[in-house]
Amino acid sequence: MSETTHDSRPDRVVLAYSGGLDTSVAIGWIGERTGAEVIAVAVDVGQGGEDLEVIRQRALDCGAVEAYVADAREEFATEYCMPALKANGLYMDSYPLVSALSRPVIVKHLVAAARQFGAQTVAHGCTGKGNDQVRFEVGITSLAPDLKCLAPVRDLALTRDVAIDYANQHHLPIATTKNNPFSIDANVWGRAIETGFLEDIWNEPTKDVYSYTDDPTYSPLPDEVTLTFDQGVPVAIDGRRVTPLEAVQEMNRRAGAQGVGRIDIVEDRLVGIKSREVYEAPGAMALIAAHKELENVTVEREQARFKKTVGQRWTELVYDGQWFSPLKRSLDAFIEDTQRYVSGEIRMVLHGGRATVTGRRSEQSLYDFNLATYDTGDSFDQSHAKGFIEIYGLTSKLSAAREAAGGQQPEASS
């Protein structure tokens, strides 16, 4: 893909290209308004749909001078989804960072393409209302502070109506319609659906909203699955070795068939507005449920308590577009250390929209049957409990005595 550099060559813009209407129109739109040549970059993170070569050719047909395509599915699953799994990353305790996780891997390829093709600017198709504009631009400037950023929808007034008219006038090879009710972003970790009638938060999602999951009301027979983890990463399903990508894909299929992973929330966006978001992430939600339970068995109590705080902050940073930040990098190191003993097996039953853990076992388990049992053979010395309680409650006892000496009575909650 190398080419000769000419001093008189026009400026070049690398465009994050999805193959859809807006980014297809953006190729010519950017050229007309900036005089720059456009290099289209399409990154496959497991969103499905059209073949990458078809998307590449469409970009060229729409006026791109070069089209760069990358199959980043394995990279995305291993280097982005697995860290999110180790962190139990759920924004607002609900959203498994579907779109937020894919942006930094796309950014990485955009910057690589900018270097390869000598571009000075990187463009994306985000609006001025969403989180993704921040994720793209902060990510780009974190990796390449010298690059400029451009958002045609936000900066060059490329609205959807304008895009449709432009595509029709220029006979671009892309389907145009004003009737598509939803904005959809998908990858192997999940699928995000917004806009249309979903913007009225009283409206219930209809059946056509969902694609990754079947209706949990009419689930097939329960599906029992055993997941094997090694240091926080799933390495086998029902005894069959899998890569991270294969683990997510198989759990998408099996948990999706049972309606697991449907999420409907009003979400606090980074830009300060609340937004109604519908997600479906069957594989992600089932894997996170299994991983959490294995951590309950293998991670020491105080470490586990603090990890929840770290995991929440990690999740917020990723949601806010700070994947490449120093703090996120430091939190990565802590989370990775906590996974040292998170190895073992979790048995789950997938049914009726739920992923229910029914069994756990691990050679690294901190669960001691002889300490936990109430039956004969109990190795816990209960005589130690009295002294422990005296010491544990000593500070509260001293405080209560001070209040009593001052004529105050400790308040008892009802």
How big is the chain, counted in residues? 414
What is the spatial distance between Cα 120 and Cα 114, in angstroms, rounded to a whole number?
7
User: Roughly what angle, to the nearest 10 degrees, separates helices 244-257 and 282-298?
Assistant: 110
279 appears as a binding residue in the annotation: yes
Across 23-123, the runs of DSSP E, i.e. the strands, are 37-44, 66-71, 121-123
319 appears as a binding residue in the annotation: no
What is the spatial distance between Cα 359 and Cα 177, in angstroms, rounded to a whole number?
50
Q: Let me know: does 366 contact 374? Beta carbons within 8 Å.
A: no
Ordered alpha helix ranges (H), 62-97: 73-76, 82-86
Among 12, 56, 73, 103, the one annotated catalytic: 103
Q: Let me know: does 213 contact 280? Beta carbons within 8 Å.
A: yes
Between the alpha carbon of residue 279 and those of residues 97, 124, 189, the distances in Å are 10, 22, 11
Q: Let me know: does 81 contact 299? Beta carbons within 8 Å.
A: no
Among 12, 44, 99, 132, the one annotated catalytic: 132
- Cα–Cα nearest to 33, from 57, 51, 7, 11: 11
Q: What letter does residue 78 receive in the DSSP assignment?
A: I
Ordered alpha helix ranges (H), 258-365: 282-298, 301-319, 326-338
7 appears as a binding residue in the annotation: no
21 appears as a binding residue in the annotation: yes
Active site residue 99: no
Active site residue 132: yes
24 appears as a binding residue in the annotation: yes
95 appears as a binding residue in the annotation: yes
93 appears as a binding residue in the annotation: no
Among 12, 22, 56, 276, the one annotated catalytic: 22
Active site residue 103: yes
What is the spatial distance between Cα 26 and Cα 167, in angstroms, rounded to a whole number?
10
Among 61, 154, 183, 360, the one annotated catalytic: 183
337 appears as a binding residue in the annotation: no
User: Roughly what angle, to the nearest 10 degrees, separates helices 326-338 and 301-319?
Assistant: 150
131 appears as a binding residue in the annotation: yes
Q: Let me know: does 209 contact 188? Beta carbons within 8 Å.
A: no
What is the spatial distance between Cα 123 and Cα 27, in angstroms, rounded to a whole number?
10
At 167, which helix (H) or strand (E)? Answer: helix 160-169
183 appears as a binding residue in the annotation: yes
DSSP-assigned letters across all residues of 232-274: TEEEEETTEE--HHHHHHHHHHHHHHTTTTEEEEEEE-TTS-E
The CA-based angle 72-74-76, given to 5 degrees, is: 65
CA atoms within 13 A on the CB side of 332: 16
259 appears as a binding residue in the annotation: no
- The annotation places the binding site at 16-24, 95, 125, 127, 131-132, 135, 183, 267, 279
- The annotation places the binding site for L-citrulline at 95, 131, 135, 183, 267, 279
Residues serving a catalytic function are: 22, 103, 132, 183
- The annotation places the binding site for L-aspartate at 127, 131-132
